[in-house]
Amino acid sequence: MAKRSGNNFGNFQEVKPFTPGVIKPITTEFSRGSVPDSIYAANRESAWSRWRKGYELANAYTYSNEYTFSFKYETPDSASTGNSNTVISGAFVGFPTSNKELGMHWAIWRYAGSVRTDQLTDPVSTEKLSVESITEDSSYWYVKLTGTWSAANTLPSPFYIPVAGQPNGLKPANTEIFEDRVLVEDGPIITSDTINPQTQTRYGYVQAVVVAINQDTGILTFKKEGSVYISPDRQFISPSPVGFTPGRFLITGSRYACTCQDFTHRDYSFVMGGANTTKKFFPRTNVSAIKPGRFEVTQVDGVVNNSAMTAPGVNRSLDVYAPEGFELDYTVTDASNTDIRATRDNPGVYREFGAIYKRSTSNISIPGSTAEGMPGYDDYSTFSLSTDSNSISQDIILTISDNWTPLLDELRYCKHIYALKFRDKLFPPEPSDFPVGITGMVEWEQKLVKQTEIKIQKDREYFKTVRSLSVMDVPPYNAQSPILYPVIQKLFNIATDKILIENFTMLD
């Protein structure tokens, strides 16, 4: 008779000692996996883990710029009297990966100083746009730019771009980060270490976000919440106790976006996977998990086009479909449509994970600002409405928080964005939501670092061998792909019909 293994009277096994205080996941009844509990979910969504992995990524790619594509983008139709089209400088930075169809996560880095007000002119007075005066209340600073502004002589681009048929025009600079880091016209951009030769002390500067622009009066409204003051003592104070310095010129700060699933919370497909992959060719969300929201469709001459790249001169349009009352205005797209069945998915092109995670602080995350905590979850809200006792109640949508709702800097950063912040020498503060339930923090962190190093090496090898660079999408030809189109719109803050492939100039 064959001997039967297992626990029985003739085959006793060692009883493992019980260790109190060890947190174990809840296991499922019919599978080997575990049910994500609250601790597991908190650790998984931790901003600290992304911050720590980003540091390792930054170190790994410090001396390797093989997938960095620098660019200058000339914003079309943004010129005004005495001022040329606005030029945006930045880079597409690729992070090889084995869990994405075309083998590359693209992080887009828009450099600080893409806009400098000492390069903008009032066409009437011919003055450059310095900070003329500041007034304030408990919540905002009101900054008047030098010039003779009126309805007939409005602020130049990127503060205001007149558009036919759009009474409010475009205001690409709205929601931008600004810093008073230029002391004189055409002067260098100061840093936190720049010394004033007259006093032998550091200059210091202020960083804040503009939330409103009055093109007729030349007044910009900056919110105090989340602002940062870099003092002459090199202290980083948030919110800033002082406003911008009159006489200085403003520049835009760095901004970042990424196409990875962690940042976009979407899974895209270009139907390019090989036979050895388990990835679904046509991503979709189960019916039980579908949520109301907005979705995009990319088209060429009215025909749906979901290709990963397009040739210069063949420009696609981005149509956004939304439930009634949640259509996007022209500042985002010129093709916003109402669809009573609009959900967050575009079946077959991408599936959305159905959740938006926002940063737990309104700070703009530079050294000295308040450390981030656990990211906040945001979704949609409804209420039930019944016209009478005999009718079926209807769910009325009150709010929607999908990819189009939060501002770019409100979304939780991924490890790739943290890596770019470290490379930009911003050194984002360490988030406070350190993973819990870990027996030894030092040992666990070392394990995380080791796993990150191994993954970086494997992804690089996989990308160069199995992928062999042959299926890689290349900037800027992928700028109007379904995955990059909405990301670039948020980063440049211009309408999608102003994003043209031929306006990119790539730099070696």
Strands 317-322, 336-338: pairing kind:
parallel
The distance in angstroms from the start CA to the end CA of the chain is 75
Section 290-317 average pLDDT: 90
Using the predicted structure, report yes or no on whether residue 278 has a pLDDT greater than 60.
no
CA distances from 413 to 83, 364, 365, 420 (A): 35, 11, 10, 11
* DSSP letters for 106-158: EEEEEPTTSSBGGG-B-TTT--B-BEEEEEE-SSEEEEEESS---SSSPPPTT
Which tokens is 60 given? 């790994």
Which tokens is 458 given? 């494997």
Return the minimum-mean-pLDDT range out of 103-112, 306-315, 390-399, 476-485.
390-399
What pLDDT score was predicted for residue 79?
79
Which tokens is 190 given? 């100061």
Using the predicted structure, report yes or no on whether residue 438 has a pLDDT greater than 60.
no
What pLDDT score was predicted for residue 481?
93
**Average pLDDT value over all residues in the chain:** 83
Q: With cut-offs at 50, 70 and 90, classify the pLDDT of residue 201.
A: very high
CA distances from 14 to 3, 6, 99, 189, 246 (A): 19, 12, 41, 69, 77
Return the minimum-mean-pLDDT range out of 72-81, 232-241, 276-285.
276-285
Q: Which amino acid is at 153?
A: N
Residue whose entry in the numeric block shows the structure tokens 């388990």:
278
Using the predicted structure, report yes or no on whether residue 5 has a pLDDT greater than 80.
no
Section 168-177 average pLDDT: 89
φ and ψ at residue 351, rounded to 5 degrees: -120, 140
Rounded to whole angstroms, the maximal C-alpha distance in the chain is 104
Rg over CA atoms, the chain: 26
Which position has the higher pLDDT, 16 or 203? 203
Section 217-230 average pLDDT: 92
What pLDDT score was predicted for residue 19?
61
Whether the upstream peptide bond of residue 239 has omega within 30° of 0, thus cis, is: yes
What pLDDT score was predicted for residue 66?
73
Cα separation, 177 vs 170, in Å, equals 17
Cα separation, 183 vs 130, in Å, equals 9
Which position has the higher pLDDT, 321 or 376? 321
Using the predicted structure, report yes or no on whether residue 473 has a pLDDT greater than 80.
yes
CA dihedral 90, 94, 95, 98 (to 10 degrees): 150
For 32-68, write each residue's pLDDT tens digit. 455 555 666 666 678 888 988 888 888 887 666 678 9
Q: To the nearest whole percent, how much of the chain has pLDDT over 90?
A: 39
> pTM of the full predicted structure?
0.83
Using the predicted structure, report yes or no on whether residue 367 has a pLDDT greater than 60.
no
